[in-house]
Amino acid sequence: MKILYLHQYFNTPEMSGGTRSYEMARRLVAAGHEVHMVTSWRRPDKSSQDWFETNEAGIHVHWLPVPYSNHMSYGERIRAFFRFAHQAGKKAKELRGDIVFATSTPLTIAIPAVSAIKKLNIPMVFEVRDLWPELPIAIGALTNPAMVWAAKKLERWAYKHSSAVVALSPGMKEGVIKAGYSQAQIATIPNSSDNVEFAYNETAAAEFRNQRFWLGDRPLLVYTGTFGKINGVTYLAELAQALLAINPEIRILLVGGGREDALLKSRATELGVLDKNLFIEDRIPKKKMPAVLSAATMACSLVIDMPEMRPNSANKFFDALAAGKPIMINYGGWQDELINKHDCGISLWQKPINEAALKLAEHITDKTWLQEAGNASRLLAEEYFDRDKLAAQLEQVLIATAKGQGNQAQSIAPGYY
């Protein structure tokens, strides 16, 4: 099968950020399919504005230079979305194929995808990574009534032209159903655990800790990822301040960057925790992330406490599971339920900051609990979220849809954990 895989923000392991599309695509290639990734080159280092092609683990990757970063204004981001959408539709039509697999965000990826399937008379599977437009509306990024109306119309238009939908969490699946889409045509395939790459590495852990004079053998809570508005990373500065009075030896490390970088540093300085018990390091390539998690005592995933955020399927959650680390979250939803059901970490959802700090301090210094929770994390990673298993489910959904059997999607990947 020739698969046209449309993802505006595709990353390789050499880049920072999530690599879901890379990992899924290379497994589709290994299974015998021809995969063409249509994506954007976001760094402002290309003098040419033309498409160029690379081969990444057998994936034919077609890059269009469209600068983008989390530091851009929402208006600048929207212009980037539409510029890519216009050109990606042309590229997909030129490439031709048997099926289009389009993954959001942004939701505008539906525009080139639908344009291509109409021209080529082939089916589309649409992947929902976030509940757009609910998320930008909820955080105030999308306020213009006309734009809100257009975004909601675009969402339903995308589903209308999809022969099957892949949702990244049970909550996202419910959101797609509420938009009027058939439940039978929705597969639930979350972000995944790369269990070989993220397996605990004692040597890498020791090297990481030895390189940081402030760390040594102290307990370490790690956050890896974007410092964006929806992540609410200043929560960790508040937590660090509360920990000073409870156990000042506990360290918190944030590895990443984004629009709220300056806000985080300012708040951490104001609270007297920056470079004392809270430390910040720049983004690193995905391939270097396993060493960070090997060195961690516990990992965390954060979002601001809004109902629209709870269906999230952040990579950092599944990376922690693969690394066999307990996971701490501060939000409700399906991952809160997973933690409570499988005892693989702690949920600080809706807890006052002092109470949250006490709970964290108790668990991150309890060696017996850490071992048991870490084992539970790894078991979850192997049993439910192993990348090879979930990639095989995606392949089955694509094959079934290409045969006109998109209504088998839910039975292939029901999303029960």
The pTM score is: 0.94
CATH of 202-383, one of 3.40.50.10320, 3.30.420.40, 3.40.50.2000, 3.20.20.80: 3.40.50.2000
Is residue 74's pLDDT more than 70? no
From residue 370, alpha-carbon distances to 90, 325, 374, 377, 408 in Å are 52, 8, 6, 10, 40
Domain 2-192+386-412 - what CATH class? alpha beta
Task: Specify the pLDDT at position 208.
Answer: 98
Classify burial at 145, counting beta carbons within 10 Å of its beta carbon; exposed 0-12, middle 13-18, buried 19 or more.
exposed
Of the CA atoms within 13 Å of residue 249, those in its CB half-sphere come to: 9
Identify the bridge partners of residue 61 per DSSP, sorted by sequence position. 37, 54
Task: Mark 99-135 as b/e (b = at least 16 C-beta within 10 Å).
Answer: bbbbbbbbbbbbbbbbbbbeebebbbbbbbbbbbbbb
Spans of all domains in the chain: 2-192+386-412, 202-383
Identify the bridge partners of residue 391 per DSSP, sorted by sequence position. none
> Given pLDDT bands bounded at 50, 70 and 90, which one contains residue 392?
very high
Torsions phi, psi of 32, nearest 5?
Answer: 105, 5
Averaged confidence pLDDT in the chain: 94
Same-fold call for 2-192+386-412 versus 202-383: yes
CB atoms < 10 A from the CB of 52, how many?
12
Is residue 106's pLDDT more than 70? yes
Strand bridging mode 34-41 / 2-6? parallel
Contact 104, 313 (CB under 8 A): no
**How many angstroms separate the most distant Cα atoms in the chain?**
64
Q: How far is Cα 225 from Cα 235, in angstroms, rounded to an integer?
A: 14
> Given pLDDT bands bounded at 50, 70 and 90, which one contains residue 132?
confident
Task: Specify the pLDDT at position 82.
Answer: 79
Closest CA to 237 of 223, 257, 218, 217: 223
Residues 327-384: pLDDT tens digits?
Answer: 999 999 999 999 999 999 999 999 999 999 999 999 999 999 999 999 999 999 999 9
What are the tokens at 273? 């925790």
Cα torsion through 365, 367, 372, 377, rounded to 10: 50
Q: How far is Cα 314 from Cα 322, in angstroms, rounded to an integer?
A: 13
Is residue 131's pLDDT more than 90? no
Residue that has been written with the tokens 């909550």 in this structure: 171
Residue that has been written with the tokens 């892949």 in this structure: 166
